[in-house]
Copies of this chain bind each other. A is one copy, B any other.
Amino acid sequence: MKQVDVEEAMSKRYPEIVVLVTQKSKDGKVNITPLGWAMPANSKPRCWAISIAKKHYSNKVINETKEFCLCLPSLKQKEDTLYCGGVSGWDVDKLGKCSFELLPATRIKSPLLKNSIACFECKVIGKFDAPDHTVFIGEVVAAHVSDRKDKLYNLGNHNLQVLK
């Protein structure tokens, strides 16, 4: 092992999971945020942890609404996922610019995304305040799957691929 700059070592973590986090603000705007920083965080009940930069629009909405829907994207959602990762919810109504199809959730207001591999309706049970990110812990209150198997992963540098 040789000691290196932290950024060089961080690049070795790819392929990385990708998730799509949907939110619905109190004034009814739906926003979709692709994230690579997500992991299961608890067994009973099942929870997901997601880490979102404090400056992001999605961070504000989740802080206000205390819920989000976490979806595992499929190849069919690749271009829309890349688009939503390249623009800010502060500036753009992302939904109007892409072809995601929303489906109603059962326990929360944030929508499911049709053609995902799986979607998890999450209610926030707590958060950790890191220096420039917030780690939100979301309890899964309902879950949905499709028959698709072409789950996307992030290989770094905006390269999303299905792994063999």
Contacts and interface: CB of A to CB of B under 8 A. Distances in A.
A132 interface: yes
Interface stretch (A7-15, A20-28, A80-88): A7-15
A112 B1 CA distance: 8
A46 B13 CA distance: 13
A5 interface: yes
A164 B133 CA distance: 31
A135 B50 CA distance: 11
A39 B151 CA distance: 18
Contact of A9 (B13, B17, B42, B145): B145
Interface stretch (A60-68, A92-100, A123-131): A123-131
A132 B163 contact: no
* Copies of this chain, count: 2
B13 A40 contact: yes
Given A1-B112, A143-B8, A133 B13 contact: no
Nearest to A163: B163
Contacts of A128: 41, 49, 126-128, 135, 137
Given A3-B106, A4-B143, A9-B120, 12 more contacts: A9-B143, A10-B46, A12-B72, A13-B40, A15-B153, A16-B17, A17-B39, A38-B39, A41-B130, A44-B131, A49-B128, A163-B164
13 contacts: A1-B119, A2-B144, A3-B142, A3-B144, A6-B140, A6-B142, A9-B140, A9-B143, A9-B145, A12-B72, A44-B131, A130-B137, A164-B164
